[in-house]
């Protein structure tokens, strides 16, 4: 192995950074939903998407939807009136009478034209107002539904390959809801205008309409094909974008700022971030020639038919097949139909594009709903007298070996259980099974005789208090960090009790606003706590709940000896009313336990009380000996 000095002397020989891992999933999520569908199938989806958008909008704001629909009708009627009145005005303007007479006779029709145009514009403004009433709430509804769906899945879903990528893809659906109503409304109003203008045009000359449709259709096909290419690129980039988003937070949050700097990680992290971005860009750029080809071909075909349309109109007028007034109206009708058709194409493609992301969002919401906790209606009643674990086995998805493998235990109220064992031996997983966060693959966990697989988890978790190894440091006030999610009381007495129990009073009294101090210095301001102080906050949070089952997973790993001693004394003093479980590597702390279990490779290999295990000559004695030798 090269010594550190060798590294220092030959920095130029250091190998280049390894590229970020290629992440691709092979599970059920690996199939691009577009890969196997035809163009016709894709277009056939649009009415369904419009229906779904309409339903969501209707649920959000019925009156705004009614207003929107009313405006669409007015748009259509005003477009038809406008064209008919234009034709009438043209008849008068292009007649062979004196100029003053022509204008005079055209005046009523011109007034109707002005009125219809004003009505159309007014309806468009009102439609925009209605759209702006619906969109923000619709986005909030979908966004909240997504957050709630993720919060309500069984915790085991997080470990399923591709779950977080699907969530990332679903986020795109939420983003698209911001333009979804505007696009759908644009499409509808363009369709109405197109139908009325097209109707008028086909009355003037039946040949014009198919020519116009042919002029715009290639652009429509091109836009939908481009949307498909964009979506394919988006789909290929989902995993990398997801990782990049997470890495961005890890690299830039002040939480890990010390580690990043003092371990010289900045260069690697920026290289890594850029490499992931480059990879996404490469995929995007690789798709550019395809979109160029699509755009050129569709423009060419569209241009050809557009020239044919104008040529046909000129030919009809030049050969006297239609008179000049009709030709002039036809020019207006062609322009109106053309702009409406173009809008249909643009908004239709946008709605189609949105439908792809909405499809991802819906698929994720359905998947999350299927993974939501649905265990049974039985309620676990307090106090918790007994927790019984029978031969439980739990294997994380994709892992070869179970993390917990055939464990049986019985815990009674008033007892303290200590779980010890090497890293990765299954201690935390066992606590997740005991609390019902995970349900075992085999075996059962009973609380007061109720199988947790059949119990409503809310009634189970109403009785638990957990200090996990990695706990949340919420960017909220100190009081909320302790009481988060709990029923509020009118005074702070119980909060101070929890503060005292974790030995946090002195810290709170030193804070500028006591319990009201905001603990979000990086984001919104306030104060910052040390690692050990945060751990005391996490302990206060669990103790504030006065739980029937208190689980502390390495609760004092960052505390000074006085703090650690105080917390363990406190655990002992309140143990009579509850079942307490402590996971710890500091074996001296297990002296307070009534029962100790030693775990190895997911199994309990030794158990008993402290004094017996110390002299048993097994793993416990060996680990204790090693810790004393240091
Ligand atoms: N979310 C997860 N997905 C897949 N495997 C996991 C997950 N969490 C833990 N494991 C695996 O399960 C095994 C047991 O992990 P567990 O966290 O229960 O160990 P532990 O005894 O608490 O370890 P430590 O002392 O390091 O906290 C380990 O092999 C670990 O790799």
Strands (E), 323-480: 386-394, 404-412, 416-421, 442-447, 450-451, 464-467
Cα–Cα dist 577/518, whole Å? 33
CB-ligand 1 contact for 402 (6 Å cutoff): no
State whether the beta carbon of 425 lies less than 6 angstroms from ligand 1: yes
- Whether residue 581 contacts residue 588, with contact meaning beta carbons closer than 8 Å, is answered with no
* pLDDT of 34: 57
The CA-to-CA distance between both ends of the chain, in Å, stands at 26
For residues 276 and 244, the answer to whether their CB atoms sit within 8 Å is yes
Residue-level pLDDT at 418: 95
Rounded to an integer, what distance in angstroms lies between the CA atom of residue 526 and that of residue 541? 20
Kindly state the average pLDDT of the residues 189-194: 84
Alpha carbon distance 557, 531 (integer Å):
10
Question: What single-letter DSSP state applies at residue 12?
Answer: G
If one residue of 158, 400, 404, 425 were mutated to test the ligand 1 pocket, choosing by the most ligand atoms within 8 A of its CB, it would be: 425
Residues in a beta bridge with 549 = 464, 579
Q: To test ligand 1's pocket by mutation, which of 164, 398, 426, 553 has the most ligand atoms within 8 angstroms of CB?
A: 426
Confidence bin at 199 (pLDDT 50/70/90): confident
* C-alpha closest to that of 444 among 384, 386, 390: 390
Going from the Cα of 158 to the center of ligand 1, the distance in angstroms, rounded, reads 14
Q: What is the mean pLDDT of residues 591-607?
A: 94
pLDDT at 598: 95
What share of the chain has pLDDT > 70, as a percent?
A: 93
Q: What are phi and psi of 553, to 5 degrees?
A: -100, 105
Count the Cβ atoms, other than its own, within 10 Å of residue 459.
17
Half-sphere exposure of residue 113, counting CA atoms within 13 Å on the CB side? 15
Binning pLDDT at 50, 70 and 90, where does residue 452 land? Answer: very high
Tokens of 203: 């009355």
Q: CA angle, 262 as apex, 256 and 266 as ends, to 5°?
A: 70
Give backbone dihedrals phi and psi of 29, rounded to 5 degrees, phi first: -90, 0
Which pLDDT band holds residue 397 (cuts at 50, 70, 90)? Answer: confident
Nearest CA to ligand 1 atom 5: 396
Q: Are 613 and 420 in contact (CB under 8 A)?
A: no
Instruction: Kindly report the number of other CB atoms within 10 A of residue 475's CB atom.
Output: 15
543/365 Cα distance (integer angstroms): 35
In this predicted structure, the answer to whether residue 549 has a pLDDT above a threshold of 90 is: yes
Mean per-residue pLDDT for 356-375? 86
Mean pLDDT for all residues in the chain: 86
Which residues are CB-contacts of 330 (< 8 A; sequence separation ≥ 6)? Answer: 201, 204, 205, 208, 313, 316, 322
The predicted pLDDT at position 290 comes to 93
When pLDDT is cut at 50, 70 and 90, the band that residue 1 belongs to is very low
Q: Which of 383, 403, 379 is nearest to 393 (CA)?
A: 403
Cα of 430 to ligand 1 centre, how many Å?
10
User: Quick one: pLDDT at residue 6?
Assistant: 45
CB-count burial class (<10 Å; 0-12, 13-18, 19+) for 262: exposed
| 83: nearest Cα among 206, 174, 2, 198 | 198
Identify which has the larger pLDDT, 371 or 255. Answer: 371
Q: Could you tell me if the CB of 159 is within 6 A of ligand 1?
A: yes
Superfamily of domain 37-370: ABC transporter type 1, transmembrane domain (1.20.1560.10)
**CB contact at 8 A, 613 and 598:** yes
Whether 79 shows a pLDDT value over 90: the answer reads: no
Relative to beta strand 386-394, strand 404-412 is antiparallel
Q: Does the beta carbon of 403 sit less than 6 angstroms from any atom of ligand 1? A: yes
Would the CB of 148 count as within 6 Å of ligand 1? no
pLDDT attached to residue 4: 43
Give residue 435 CA to ligand 1 midpoint distance, Å: 16
Distance of CA 602 from the midpoint of ligand 1 (Å): 10
Matching residue, tokens 């105080």 = 566
> Contact, 69 vs 125, CB < 8 A?
no
Q: Which has the minimum average pLDDT: 10-24, 359-373, 416-430, 456-470?
A: 10-24
Taking residues 385-394, report their average pLDDT: 96
70-84, 321-335, 541-555, 589-603: least confident range: 321-335
C-alpha separations of 198 from 112, 214, 342 in Å: 20, 13, 13
**30 has a pLDDT exceeding 60:** no
Q: Classify 437 as helix, strand or coil.
A: coil
Q: What is the Å distance from ligand 1's center to 539 Cα?
A: 22
For the chain, the residue count is 630
Matching CATH number, 415-424+463-629, of 3.40.50.300, 1.20.120.530, 3.40.50.2000, 3.40.190.10: 3.40.50.300
Q: How confident is the model at residue 26 (pLDDT cuts 50, 70, 90)?
A: very low
Give residue 553's pLDDT: 93
Report the interhelical angle of 62-93 vs 163-204 (nearest 10°): 30
Instruction: Say yes or no: CB of residue 424 within 6 Å of ligand 1.
Output: yes
Is the pLDDT reported for residue 188 higher than 90? no
Cβ proximity of 273 and 240 under 8 Å: no
Q: Is the pLDDT of residue 5 over 50?
A: no
CA-CA distance, 17 to 440, in Å (whole number)?
A: 41
Sign of the alpha-carbon torsion through 525, 527, 532, 536: negative
**Which residues have C-beta within 8 Å of that of residue 216, sequence separation ≥ 6?**
302, 338, 341, 342, 344, 345
ipTM of the complex as predicted: 0.97
What was the pLDDT predicted at 482?
92
Q: Which of 212-221, 527-536, 599-608 has the lowest mean pLDDT?
A: 212-221
For 294, the token pair is 């699509």
pLDDT at 46: 72
Per CATH, 37-370 and 415-424+463-629 having the same topology is answered no
Q: What is the pLDDT of residue 25?
A: 47
State the pLDDT at residue 36. 57
Where do we find the tokens 């004003």?
A: 118
Pairing of strands 549-553, 579-583: parallel
418, 589 Cβ separation under 8 angstroms: yes
* Per-residue confidence (pLDDT) for residue 558, from 0 to 100: 86
Average pLDDT score over residue span 419-430: 94
Confidence of residue 31 (pLDDT cuts 50, 70, 90): low
CB-based contact 143:174 (threshold 8 Å)? yes
**DSSP 8-class letter at 16:** P
User: Is residue 400 in contact with ligand 1, taking CB distance under 6 Å?
Assistant: no
**Which numbered atom of ligand 1 lies nearest the CA of 432?**
18
Instruction: Report the nearest-CA residue for atom 29 of ligand 1.
Output: 424
pTM for this model (two decimals): 0.73
- Interatomic CA distance for residues 55 and 358, integer angstroms: 13
Query: In the prediction, which pLDDT does 24 show?
Result: 58
Probe ligand 1: pick from 392, 401, 424, max atoms within 8 Å of CB?
424
Centre of ligand 1 to C-alpha 403, Å, is 7
d(CA 568, CA 566): 6
What percent of the chain is modeled with pLDDT above 90? 38
- Any ligand 1 atom below 6 A from CB of 429: yes
The set of residues, in sequence order, having a beta carbon less than 8 Å from that of 565 and lying 6+ positions away, is none
Residue minimizing CA distance to atom 19 of ligand 1 = 424
List, in sequence order, the alpha helices (H) in 409-456.
427-434
Q: Give the pLDDT of residue 221.
A: 83
Q: How far is the CA of 423 from the centre of ligand 1 (A)?
A: 8
| Ligand 1 center–CA 426 separation, angstroms | 6
Q: What band does 183 get if pLDDT is binned at 50, 70 and 90?
A: confident
Q: In terms of Cα–Cα distance, which of 176, 186, 185, 230 is closest to 341?
A: 186
Contacts of 144-150 with CB under 8 Å at 24 or more apart are 145/365, 146/170, 146/171, 146/174, 146/361, 146/364, 146/365, 149/364, 149/365, 149/368, 149/369, 149/372, 150/368
If you average pLDDT over residues 34-48, what whole number do you get? 68
pLDDT tens-place string over residues 148-182: 999 999 998 888 888 888 888 888 888 888 888 88
Query: 362 alpha carbon to ligand 1 midpoint, in Å?
Result: 32
Find the helix or strand (DSSP H, E) in which 195 lies: helix 163-204
Nearest to 340 by CA among 131, 184, 180, 197: 197
* Ligand 1 centroid from CA 429, angstroms: 6
Distance 418 CA to ligand 1 centre (A): 17
Q: Helix 324-370 and helix 208-252: axis angle, to 10°?
A: 40
- pLDDT tens per residue across span 300-346: 998 888 888 888 888 888 888 877 777 777 787 778 777 887 788 77
* pLDDT number for residue 384: 92
CA–centroid distance, 93 to ligand 1, in Å, is 86
Q: Pick the more confident residue, 305 or 523.
A: 305
Which residue has its alpha carbon closest to ligand 1 atom 16?
426
Give the start-to-end residue ranges of the domains of the chain: 37-370, 415-424+463-629
Looking at residue 610, its pLDDT comes to 92
Ligand 1 atom nearest to CA at 422: 25
């Amino acid at each position: 192995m090269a010594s550190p000095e060798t590294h220092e002397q030959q920095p130029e020989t250091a190998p280049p950074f390894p590229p970020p891992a290629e992440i691709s999933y092979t599970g059920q999520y690996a199939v691009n939903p577009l890969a196997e569908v035809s163009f016709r199938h894709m277009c056939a989806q649009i009415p369904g998407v419009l229906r779904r958008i309409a339903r969501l909008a209707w649920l959000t704001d019925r009156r705004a939807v009614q207003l929107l629909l009313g405006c669409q009708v007015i748009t259509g009627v005003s477009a038809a009136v406008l064209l008919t009145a234009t034709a009438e005005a043209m008849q008068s303007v292009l007649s062979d009478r004196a100029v003053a007479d022509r204008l005079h006779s055209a005046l009523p029709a011109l007034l109707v034209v002005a009125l219809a145009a004003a009505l159309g514009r007014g309806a468009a403004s009102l439609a925009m107002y209605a759209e702006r009433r619906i969109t923000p709430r619709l986005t909030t509804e979908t966004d909240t539904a997504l957050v709630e769906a993720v919060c309500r899945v069984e915790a085991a879903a997080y470990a399923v390959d591709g779950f977080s990528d699907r969530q990332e893809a679903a986020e795109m659906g939420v983003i698209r809801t911001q333009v979804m109503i505007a696009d759908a409304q644009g499409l509808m109003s363009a369709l109405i205008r197109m139908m009325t203008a097209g109707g008028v045009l086909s009355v003037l000359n039946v040949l014009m309409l198919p020519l116009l449709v042919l002029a715009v259709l290639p652009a429509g096909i091109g836009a939908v094909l481009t949307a498909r290419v964009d979506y394919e690129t988006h789909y290929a980039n989902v995993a990398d974008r997801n990782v990049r988003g997470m890495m961005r937070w890890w690299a830039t949050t002040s939480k890990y700022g010390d580690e990043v700097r003092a371990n010289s990680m900045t260069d690697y992290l920026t290289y890594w971030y850029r490499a992931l971005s480059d990879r996404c860009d490469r995929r995007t750029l690789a798709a550019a020639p395809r979109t160029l080809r699509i755009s050129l071909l569709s423009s060419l075909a569209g241009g050809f038919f557009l020239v044919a349309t104008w040529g046909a109109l000129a030919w009809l007028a030049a050969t006297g097949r239609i008179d000049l007034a009709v030709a002039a109206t036809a020019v207006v009708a062609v322009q109106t139909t053309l702009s409406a058709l173009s809008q249909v194409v643009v908004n239709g493609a946008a709605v189609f594009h949105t439908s792809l992301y909405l499809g991802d969002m819906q698929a994720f919401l359905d998947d999350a709903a299927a993974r939501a906790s649905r265990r049974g209606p039985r309620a676990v009643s307090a106090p918790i007298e007994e927790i019984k674990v029978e031969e439980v086995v739990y294997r994380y998805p994709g892992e070869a070996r179970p993390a917990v493998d055939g464990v049986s235990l019985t815990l009674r109220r008033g007892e303290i259980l200590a779980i010890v064992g090497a890293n990765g031996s299954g201690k935390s997983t066992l606590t997740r099974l005991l609390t019902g966060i995970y349900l075992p693959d085999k075996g059962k966990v009973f609380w007061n005789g109720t199988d947790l697989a059949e119990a409503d988890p809310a009634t189970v978790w109403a009785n638990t208090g957990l200090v996990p190894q990695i706990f949340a440091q919420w960017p909220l006030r100190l009081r909320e960090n302790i009481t988060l999610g709990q029923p509020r009381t009118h005074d702070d007495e119980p909060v101070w009790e929890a503060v005292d129990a974790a030995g946090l009073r002195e810290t709170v009294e030193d804070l500028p606003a006591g319990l009201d101090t905001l603990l979000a210095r990086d984001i919104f301001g306030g104060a910052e706590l040390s690692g050990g102080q945060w751990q005391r906050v996490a302990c206060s949070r669990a103790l504030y709940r006065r739980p029937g089952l208190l689980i502390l997973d390495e609760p004092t790993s960052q505390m000074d000896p006085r703090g650690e001693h105080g917390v363990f004394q406190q655990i002992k003093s309140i143990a009579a009313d509850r079942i307490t479980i402590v996971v710890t590597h500091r074996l001296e702390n297990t002296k307070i336990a009534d029962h100790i279990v030693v775990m190895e490779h997911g199994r309990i290999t030794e158990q008993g009380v402290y004094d017996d295990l110390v002299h048993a000559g097994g793993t416990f004695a060996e680990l204790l000996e090693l810790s004393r030798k240091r």
